[in-house]
Amino acid sequence: MDTGYIRLARKIFEWEWWGDPITLEVFIWCILRANWKEGKFKGQTIPRGSFVTSRGTGAAECRLSQQTWRTAIKHLISTNEITIKSTKQYTLITVVNYEVYQSDGEKLTNELTNDLTSNQPTTNQDIKKKKGKNKNINVHAEELFNQLWDLYIRKKGKSQVTKAAKEEILAVGYDRMKRCIEKYAAEKVGVEERYILMGSTFFNGRYKDYLDPEIAEPIPIQPEEEEEPEMTDEEFFAMVDNNFGEVG
């Protein structure tokens, strides 16, 4: 990888994924990986702000499991931070607002007065609608979390469970989360409390170890070929296109 640097504006403190360190890491990785000038890959033009990668490469470079990396990528797609286009030859990730983030001088300063994402509302009415939608998600996530917290066996660290974690739990749903809690509780019968995970640890992600194997992620993934134990990169990114819309 070329030496050099990227610009990172303080506005990122206000970004909705700031409290999710894994999604933040993967987003910064995308900016670092993106071409700073137009390039070529196997005869295809790769524009500035885009880069070619694979699921295995991305996870390895971020030092994450492929499942964790994949979840962060979905987060970034869902809020239009990046787009993905997959072909038989390569998978292309594009940082949507790369020109805004990496512009020079006054242009950068002026454009960063907008939100970090490209979905910034342009009217007061749009702002109210966006805030209302986010508020509803937050309310539902908080309500579900409180219900599940009452079921958990070691109620410590409630205030340390992150907003991002609660929203992921909302995507998983009550029934599946309840089964996770029941499985973990059954595993810890007769165990001293100090050897039981604190609630904050469990709900910040460790519950994923107890999700039903066949539906281990909030968004189901169906491999194109059932006999293959794991999805190829092309299958995974095609799945992402189906869920979030392919950007050509």
- Of the CA atoms within 13 Å of residue 60, those in its CB half-sphere come to 5
Q: What six digits make up the tokens of 99? A: 């020109």
Instruction: Indicate whether 180 pLDDT > 90.
Output: yes
Question: Which CATH code for domain 10-118?
Answer: 1.10.10.10
Task: Name the residue ranges covered by the structural domains of the chain.
Answer: 10-118, 124-217
CB within 8 Å of 97: residues ≥ 6 apart: 81, 116, 117, 118
CB 28 within 8 A of CB 3: no
Residue range 7-26: mean pLDDT, rounded: 88
* Predicted pLDDT at 108: 44
What secondary structure letter does DSSP report for 63? T
Which residue shows structure tokens 């950068």?
108
Phi and psi, residue 173, nearest 5°: 100, 160
Q: Which of 147, 153, 135, 233 is nearest to 199 (CA)?
A: 153
Give the tens place of pLDDT for each residue, 19-45.
889 999 999 999 998 888 888 888 788
**Residue 7: pLDDT band by 50, 70, 90 thresholds?**
confident
- Position 131, amino acid: K
pTM of the model: 0.45
What does the mean pLDDT of the chain come to? 78
Give the tens place of pLDDT for each residue, 223-242.
444 444 456 666 666 666 55
Comparing 38-47, 167-176, 179-188, the range with the smallest average pLDDT is 38-47
* Predicted pLDDT at 58: 87
**Radius of gyration of the chain, Cα coordinates, nearest whole angstrom:** 20
Dist. CA 187–CA 25, nearest whole Å: 33
Dist. CA 195–CA 204, nearest whole Å: 17
